[in-house]
Amino acid sequence: MSAQPATATREWPDEGSSRVPNWVYTDPQIFARELDLVFGASDWLYVCLETEIPNPGDFKRSQLGNREVVAVRGTDGTINVLVNRCAHRSMQVCTASRGSAKEFVCPYHQWTYDLAGNLLGIPFRRGYRGQGGMPPDFRPEEHGLQRLAVTHRHGVVFASFGAPNESLESYLGERMLGYFDRVFDGRQLVVLGHMRQRIPSNWKLMFENIKDPYHASLLHVFLVTFGLFRLDQQSAVEMDETGRHAVLVSRRGAQETNEATAQMRAFKPGFALQDKRLLDPVREFPGDATVVMQTLWPNLIVQQQSNTLAMRQIVPHDARSFDLAWTFFGYADDTPEMHQRRLRQANLMGPAGLVSLDDSEAMLLSQAGIDTNDDKTCVVEMGGRAVVNEPHMVTETAIRGFYQHYRSVMEL
């Protein structure tokens, strides 16, 4: 740690987005700005799946940036996303993490809000026997719960703190929308369960990790050994126009030795499973991609890794930690075998995932290296220095794309 200069004096390295200065992962002032400019602006943030709140009154809490919100289905079936803060004296109105409600009653003084956040009632608003009460000019309509702009597509709910000037579809862009619709094709989704982990690193390291196909063949011995993800397979890294969203697309390969595995220490040719059921992937989507990992600015990863499907929501806590909240899902029309397969393959994902624990540990170890070297700079030059889509995995282009967008948003 060196003495922290004011944010204003932070200067991005001359090399541009192929370099990332370590202070973006440590500076509390940078983090505070991110809460406003990245998580609190007009972008569409992932909130939850529609199927989590199927009926009117059903609600679920979620965290957008560092704000607690409640996603609730209104009586008319529309979904409202409300900031969980009473307009009176700021208490959290909703203490349950999920449930069903007819209205929200703040426990402190029982100010009551409808499912759209409108202030319905204030006990003793008119006083009692002529004494006390709210001023006559008090306007309840100005004191509702803060309500966000909401949109949803094929069962996935997004919200925005600002007034987005584009639809979700245009926000994602055509290419990303295609990949989005590949998994969210309109079929009814079914939640299989949640996992959550608190990772002691900056939240951006999570995005870097998923936007980085280069590491997959090298770090994930399990993945590579069983051919689930191999750099020598046909693959692609694609972004939207801005660089903020991306997908990694890959195909399954065999557990074989070749000129690529020669450069992959991770590859263990002799390793076999005792119980083969752990790895029994079945093709279920059109095309031959077996892995599609989509990163959507600013808080979502859509994971399709063989037959495990999950939303990974990023919830930043401070410059040095974030929560990763996983929602595993399938489709209502899954066969019992496919259902079971998804549960089994979940062994590879989540906080104990035989693949993804490598990643959470990598983030821990990265932040450890960063924390005491925040005067140093990361080098992001694999695949060149440009931000372009690539038909291969030997590139960090999507990380550069992310920082290109980040810098413009953060004015850095």
Partner 1 sequence: MVAVAPGMEVGLELRARLADLYCAYDDALNDGALERWPELFTEACVYKVIPRENVEQGFPVALIYCESRDMLVDRVVALRETALFAPRIARRITSGICLRAIEPDGLHLTASFAVFQTMQDQPSELFLCGRCQDRVVDDGGALRFAERLCIYDSTIIPTSLVYPV
Residue numbers 208-237 binding a second copy by CB under 8 A: 208, 214-215, 218-219, 231-232
Residue 109 CB, nearest distance to ligand FES (Å)? 3
Rank residues 108 and 271 by Cβ distance to ligand FES and give the closer one: 108
Interface residue with ligand FES, options 54, 75, 108, 166 (CB under 6 A): 108
**218 vs 266: CA distance, rounded Å:** 6
Structure tokens, 92: 């959290």
Beta partners for residue 322, in sequence order: 199, 316
Binder of residue 138, out of partner 1, Fe ion, ligand FES, none (CB less than 5 to 8 A by kind): none
Binder of residue 10, out of ligand FES, Fe ion, a second copy, none (CB less than 5 to 8 A by kind): none
Query: Which one of 289-297, 298-306, 328-336, 387-395 is the stretch in contact with a second copy (CB under 8 A)?
Result: 387-395
Residue 92 CB, nearest distance to ligand FES (Å)? 9
Interface residue with ligand FES, options 86, 224, 349, 409 (CB under 6 A): 86
Judged on CB neighbours under 10 Å (0-12, 13-18, 19+), 270 is: exposed
Cβ neighbours of 344 (radius 10 Å): 16
The H or E element spanning position 296 is strand 291-296
> What is the DSSP secondary structure assignment for residue 84, as one 8-state letter?
S
Strands (E), 291-381: 291-296, 300-305, 308-318, 321-331, 377-379
Give the interface with partner 1 as residue ranges (CB under 8 A): 95-98, 107, 191-200, 219-222, 225, 266, 268, 271, 273-275, 277-278, 323, 328, 343-344, 346-347, 350-354, 357-358, 360-362, 364-365, 368
Residue 91 contacts ligand FES per CB under 6 A = yes
Residue of minimal Cβ distance to Fe ion: 359
Residue 229 contacts by C-beta under 8 Å, 6 or more apart in sequence?
A: 216, 217, 220, 223, 250, 252, 291
Helix (H, G, I), strand (E, B), or coil: what is residue 62? strand
Are 345 and 304 in contact, with CB atoms under 8 Å apart?
Answer: no
Residue 114 contacts Fe ion per CB under 5 A = no
- Tell me the angle at which helices 28-37 and 397-410 cross, rounded to the nearest 10 degrees: 90
Rank residues 132 and 178 by Cβ distance to ligand FES and give the closer one: 132
Helix (H, G, I), strand (E, B), or coil: what is residue 192? strand
Residue 88 contacts ligand FES per CB under 6 A = yes
Query: Which one of 35-43, 106-114, 179-187, 247-255 is the stretch in contact with ligand FES (CB under 6 A)?
Result: 106-114
Residue 333 CB, nearest distance to partner 1 (Å)? 17
Interface residue with ligand FES, options 33, 109, 194, 252 (CB under 6 A): 109
Rounded-to-5 percentages of helix, strand, coil across the chain:
25, 25, 45
Binding mask 50-79 for a second copy (x = CB under 8 A): ----------------xxx-----------
Residue 106 contacts ligand FES per CB under 6 A = yes
Residue 365 CB, nearest distance to partner 1 (Å)? 6
The H or E element spanning position 31 is helix 28-37
Residue numbers 331-370 binding a second copy by CB under 8 A: 362, 365-366, 368-370
**378 vs 396: CA distance, rounded Å:** 12
Residue 111 contacts ligand FES per CB under 6 A = yes
Rank residues 45 and 266 by Cβ distance to Fe ion and give the closer one: 266
Query: Which one of 89-97, 151-159, 192-200, 247-255 is the stretch in contact with a second copy (CB under 8 A)?
Result: 89-97
> What is the DSSP secondary structure assignment for residue 2, as one 8-state letter?
P
Residue 176 contacts by C-beta under 8 Å, 6 or more apart in sequence?
A: 240, 245, 247, 294, 296
State the Cα torsion 356-361-367-370 to the nearest 10°: -110
Residue 138 contacts a second copy per CB under 8 A = yes
Size of the residue set binding ligand FES (CB under 6 A):
8
Residue 221 contacts ligand FES per CB under 6 A = no
**135 vs 127: CA distance, rounded Å:** 10
How many angstroms separate the first and last alpha carbons of the chain?
Answer: 20
> What is the DSSP secondary structure assignment for residue 307, as one 8-state letter?
T
Interface residue with ligand FES, options 15, 89, 263, 375 (CB under 6 A): 89
Residue 359 contacts Fe ion per CB under 5 A = yes
Rank residues 109 and 187 by Cβ distance to a second copy and give the closer one: 109
Phi, psi of 335 (to 5 degrees): -70, 160
Interface residues toward ligand FES, by CB under 6 A: 86, 88-89, 91, 106, 108-109, 111
Interface residues toward Fe ion, by CB under 5 A: 359
